[in-house]
Amino acid sequence: MAQLTKEDTELSGDAQDLAVSKLTEMTTFLRAKTEDGTASVQVVESTTQALISGLANVVKAAARRTSTVHDHFTPKVFPWSSTVIQQSLQTISTVKQTVLTTIAPGEKPKVLTTPSLAIILQRDECRDFRAGAYVLEDFDSLFSVPSCDDLFRNGTIQPDQVIDTHMTHFSNNPYQWATNISLEDTVVSLEFTSEGQNIAVRNLTEAVDIIIPRDDSSEFWNTVRISGDDITGVQDVTAFNNTDIHENQTFHVLLRPSNPDAELTLYLGEDQYPTLVTYTSKQSLPLATAFTLEVSEDRNITADPFLWQIGILNSSSTYYIGISYSVKDYLDLELLVFTSSCTYFDETTSTWQRDGCQLGPLTTSNRTHCICDHLTSFGSTFFSLANDVAVQTQADAADDIPIIPIAVASAFALYLVVASWAYFKDKEDKVMVETMAVKDRDPLAHYQYDVTVVTGFRRNAGTSGNVNIRLIGDYGESELHTISDLLTNRKVLQRGSIDSFLITTRDWLGEIKEIAIRMDNVGKSQSWYLSRVMVRDLQTDQRWHFLSNRWLTTDQDRREVFEIHLPVTDENELRQALPLFVARALFGLRNDHLWFSILTRSPRSSLTRVQRVTCCLIILLCQMVAAIIFHGISGDSTLGEFRLGWEQLIVGVESGLVAFVVSIVITALFKSTAKITERSEERHCCGGNGDVEKKPTKSTYCKEVGDNENTDAEIEEVEFELADWHSARGSVSGDDWQNRKNVKTKDGICCSCCCRCCGHPSRRCSHLAWVLAFATCSGAAFCAIYYGINFGKQEAFSWLVYVGVAFLQDLLILQFIKVIVFAVFVSLCCKMYEEESWEPVLPERLAAVDSWTTATSAL
């Protein structure tokens, strides 16, 4: 039966009722066999141990099922649970009487133990009754009783009368039906019987000491640092509110100083901060004399010298505790404020009562010491008070600087400065993405190729020399075009740059087999690290890749020309994981690392610099809020000198992780709105006419809709121009093309099929992203200021350390991990270089000197 009831969590109400019935039947049978002498002592011991184990499991199951259906202060008991527990207690009493029949007076006590129930049974004559402590060693529960004469003063017990001692320890409160007081789980009892009859013990002149253990591993200790340097007043370290929940309970303050020899004076103030003159109560610690309870010849229990037992307080007040420390040095303190009380079970009323018991000086966080004038079953209450820790003195309280509000305001001020700079850089980047026309372009060449050149990211990878390129195909080759000297003043072929050039030929070259790169040693940077080249046929959108990943250099002592031929890279070599990973990781360092990319962002990235700066502000503010939250949970304010330990690192890491997750969401939202905008532009341009062939470029140009409506003939003319974009653009002069470009259309139809139309829903998506971003910033800033405004100077410094750890974690670890993870994903799943997803971009002003058509007509 003990094995069947071992899994107490699986015992239903019916199973408990059946189990206790069977156990009762077996106990009755064993009692009969013991009385008629047919059961040996060994059989009784082994059987009673099994019975006690089964009964303990049933009591635990019934108590557990009762406690899971109520909160801490409003218990609810099922009738069947109460019945099962009461029947189990009666059967346990029968088992104890059965065991006692096998014990002779003066023999060693019998001990029955299970994980949740322990029993000591002893039989003595009254004259041999031992005064002192009865201890269950494995459970740390204890009763210290006086002599037989003091216990039984009514004269009904004769010196030679046999006294049976029953000491019981329940790890689960068996009196679940008594709901007037919320107790800790542990209940202990001590009773005396003689010839099976209970001996009442009450109104003792010499009280009984009772130790009730409890588990304090989950208690919340506040950690504070106080300073004795030039301190003449009281340092306020904690405040707590007393409520009706703590009525008739004794308040305690328990300290664990880093220096066990420290001498402190604690002050208590009611509804005001205590001072050296004005206070409600005070106590010097450590205690001069400590109460000691003798357990055995070699063991005593001594009161904690740093425990202040305040007493019962007014339930409607707020209390403040201050500390005076005269030594000119820092002292770290762990502090716990709790209430406790002693209760006993009144079998007459089936309720828990407190009269006749008082709390003893041996009470700590892991035990309750009760001093009572009677014997029965005893329990205890314990509440750890949530308290605010803020170390400061009255002398310097007015001089505290609001460090956290200043930090938040500084973050916003820095954001405004950096965002202003980023805004102008974003405007410059719009020009940097445009495909550039080479200066030596043939005006009669109309077949177009977009050539994208990727310069490596190594140190001094860019070049200032003259670089020329020639395309070589199955049916011919292009002219040798200079790509380092353009119509514009843009710097090209710089370290980490991705530059696109328009190369035109008179005829189709067929399949591109190789390209020729020629360069000389003109200028200061005579070497060039060429990563790769991609050639795109703008008519068919066919692409060829040429991997280089090498230094191109010439002899610096002589003015010579260096030329190499790069063969086209086949698909298998192009999609190898390792080169893709390296290329994507290097690109990610400058474009996906949120902090670095503010300076190194690729102009073609969908995430602007202003958006990146905003995401960084979100990260910083979320780190500030998370640091306040986790700082409060850790209760640590000992970092006034910026000492860094494991606890501080953990809090910083937790804060950084929370902020990182928020930044990922906001960043993804910004990127998704950019992609929605691109798709919306393509879907809305040219009136959404699916029959119009789209040119393979984007343009930021969009014609204004005039006051007068356009005719159908004008619309057809625009559609004709778009459908025959590539041939028409080469055969029309610059002025004629400008005239055609300015033709007005109906309903916002644009001259470019990838134009940026105004007023479509993608703008609203972008606005939503910005609203969410600034709502996050505002909410985080408000929470940081609201909860951090009352931080003391040392707490604020501690908070700064947490934020610093979180910032460095994001800067040096999390962002790098993100880059590596993206690179692995791209190399294994997407298998695509970054430039493959980009489309050529027309200059914004088609008629400008750097536009393709003007360049054609000018040459």
Q: How confident is the model at residue 742 (pLDDT cuts 50, 70, 90)?
A: very low
For residue range 785-834, list pLDDT tens digits in order: 888 777 767 677 878 888 888 888 888 988 899 889 888 888 888 777 66
**Residue type present at position 43:** V
Q: Kindly state the average pLDDT of the residues 149-164.
A: 81
* Cβ within 8 Å of residue 296, ≥6 positions away: 133, 135
For residue range 74-94, list pLDDT tens digits in order: 444 455 467 888 899 999 999
pLDDT reading at 71 higher than 70 = no
Residue with the bigger pLDDT between 547 and 244: it is: 547
Which pair of structure tokens corresponds to residue 493?
């072929």
Q: Kindly state the average pLDDT of the residues 299-309.
A: 91
Residue 540 and residue 777: Cα distance in Å, rounded?
47
* Residues 369, 360 contacting (CB under 8 angstroms): yes
Query: Nearest to residue 162, comparing CAs of 193, 208, 201, 131?
Result: 193
pLDDT reading at 396 higher than 80 = no
Which pair of structure tokens corresponds to residue 236?
């306020």
Q: Kindly state the average pLDDT of the residues 245-255.
A: 85
pLDDT reading at 531 higher than 70 = yes
Residue 143 and residue 213: Cα distance in Å, rounded?
12
pLDDT of res. 342: 94
* Residues 545, 574 contacting (CB under 8 angstroms): yes
- Name the DSSP letter for residue 814: I
Would you mind telling me the total number of residues written for the chain in this entry? 859
* Residues 797, 403 contacting (CB under 8 angstroms): yes
Residue 293 and residue 132: Cα distance in Å, rounded?
10
Q: How confident is the model at residue 59 (pLDDT cuts 50, 70, 90)?
A: confident
pLDDT of res. 690: 41
How far are the Cα atoms of 229, 267, 322, 556, 691 from residue 284, in angstroms, in the given order? 19, 9, 12, 84, 92
Query: Nearest to residue 446, comparing CAs of 501, 503, 506?
Result: 506
Q: Kindly state the average pLDDT of the residues 180-189.
A: 89
Give the 3-state secondary structure of residue 117. strand
Residue 286, preceding peptide bond in cis (omega within 30° of 0): yes
For residue range 362-384, list pLDDT tens digits in order: 999 899 999 999 999 999 999 88
For residue range 90-112, list pLDDT tens digits in order: 999 999 999 998 898 889 899 99
pLDDT of res. 210: 95
Cβ-based neighbour number of residue 126 at 10 Å: 19
pLDDT of res. 601: 84
Alpha helices in 529-686 (DSSP H): 571-574, 577-591, 597-600, 609-634, 646-684
pLDDT reading at 119 higher than 90 = yes
Among 67-71, 586-590, 815-819, 840-844, name the one with the lowest average pLDDT: 67-71
* Cβ within 8 Å of residue 775, ≥6 positions away: none
Exposure of 625 in the CB half-sphere (CA atoms within 13 A): 19
Q: Kindly state the average pLDDT of the residues 141-158.
A: 82
Global pTM reads 0.49
Residue with the bigger pLDDT between 425 and 398: it is: 425
Residue 832 and residue 838: Cα distance in Å, rounded?
11
Among 196-205, 353-362, 637-646, 651-660, name the one with the lowest average pLDDT: 637-646
pLDDT reading at 684 higher than 80 = no
pLDDT of res. 5: 62
Give the 3-state secondary structure of residue 131. coil
User: For strand 197-199 and strand 187-194, is the pairing parallel, antiparallel, or unpaired?
Assistant: antiparallel
pLDDT of res. 638: 40
pLDDT of res. 567: 93
How far are the Cα atoms of 23, 67, 79, 351 from residue 93, in angstroms, in the given order? 13, 24, 22, 20
Residue 164 and residue 146: Cα distance in Å, rounded?
15
Q: How confident is the model at residue 630 (pLDDT cuts 50, 70, 90)?
A: confident
For residue range 321-366, list pLDDT tens digits in order: 888 887 777 788 888 889 999 999 998 898 999 999 999 999 998 9
User: For strand 141-145 and strand 208-213, is the pairing parallel, antiparallel, or unpaired?
Assistant: antiparallel
Residue 111 and residue 306: Cα distance in Å, rounded?
36
Task: Compute CA 628 distance to the chain's CA centroid, rounded to the nearest angstrom.
Answer: 12
Percent of the chain with pLDDT over 70: 75
pLDDT reading at 6 higher than 70 = no
Query: Nearest to residue 437, comparing CAs of 712, 160, 151, 843?
Result: 843
Task: Compute CA 808 distance to the chain's CA centroid, rounded to the nearest angstrom.
Answer: 16
Residue 202 and residue 151: Cα distance in Å, rounded?
8
Query: Nearest to residue 122, comparing CAs of 146, 92, 102, 94?
Result: 102
pLDDT of res. 493: 87
**Residue type present at position 88:** S
What's the mean pLDDT when you consider all of the chain? 77
pLDDT of res. 683: 44
Query: Nearest to residue 366, comparing CAs of 217, 221, 209?
Result: 217
pLDDT of res. 421: 94
For residue range 549-599, list pLDDT tens digits in order: 888 886 655 556 788 999 998 888 877 888 778 878 888 888 888 899 898
Per mean pLDDT, which of 62-66, 518-522, 643-647 is the most reliable?
A: 518-522
Give the 3-state secondary structure of residue 499. strand
Which pair of structure tokens corresponds to residue 262?
């420290």
Q: Cα–Cα–Cα angle for 343, 346, 350, nearest 5°?
A: 115
pLDDT of res. 734: 39
* Residues 298, 355 contacting (CB under 8 angstroms): no
pLDDT of res. 764: 64
pLDDT of res. 233: 64
Q: Kindly state the average pLDDT of the residues 285-304.
A: 86
Query: Nearest to residue 396, comparing CAs of 234, 239, 279, 636?
Result: 234
pLDDT reading at 269 higher than 70 = yes
Residue 852 and residue 596: Cα distance in Å, rounded?
34
* Cβ within 8 Å of residue 748, ≥6 positions away: 687, 702, 705, 757, 758
Q: Kindly state the average pLDDT of the residues 703-714.
A: 38
Which pair of structure tokens corresponds to residue 698?
């984007």
Among 239-243, 537-541, 723-727, name the one with the lowest average pLDDT: 723-727
Among 136-150, 208-222, 698-712, 748-762, name the one with the lowest average pLDDT: 698-712
**Residue type present at position 68:** T
- Tokens 């390296």 correspond to what residue? 582
pLDDT of res. 169: 94
- CB burial of residue 183 (10 Å; 0-12, 13-18, 19+): buried
Residue 618 and residue 413: Cα distance in Å, rounded?
14
- Tokens 């003007």 correspond to what residue? 854
Residue 459 and residue 661: Cα distance in Å, rounded?
33
- Name the DSSP letter for residue 227: E
pLDDT of res. 686: 42
pLDDT of res. 792: 67
* Residues 816, 810 contacting (CB under 8 angstroms): no
pLDDT reading at 731 higher than 70 = no
pLDDT of res. 2: 57
pLDDT of res. 844: 47
Among 42-51, 338-347, 403-412, 639-648, name the one with the lowest average pLDDT: 639-648
- Name the DSSP letter for residue 438: B
pLDDT reading at 458 higher than 50 = yes
Q: Kindly state the average pLDDT of the residues 58-85.
A: 61
Exposure of 780 in the CB half-sphere (CA atoms within 13 A): 28
Percent of the chain with pLDDT over 90: 21
Query: Nearest to residue 92, comparing CAs of 44, 139, 51?
Result: 51
pLDDT of res. 810: 86
For residue range 381-395, list pLDDT tens digits in order: 998 886 555 544 444
pLDDT reading at 155 higher than 70 = no
pLDDT of res. 86: 87
* Cβ within 8 Å of residue 43, ≥6 positions away: none
pLDDT reading at 174 higher than 70 = yes
pLDDT reading at 732 higher than 60 = no
Residue 194 and residue 853: Cα distance in Å, rounded?
117
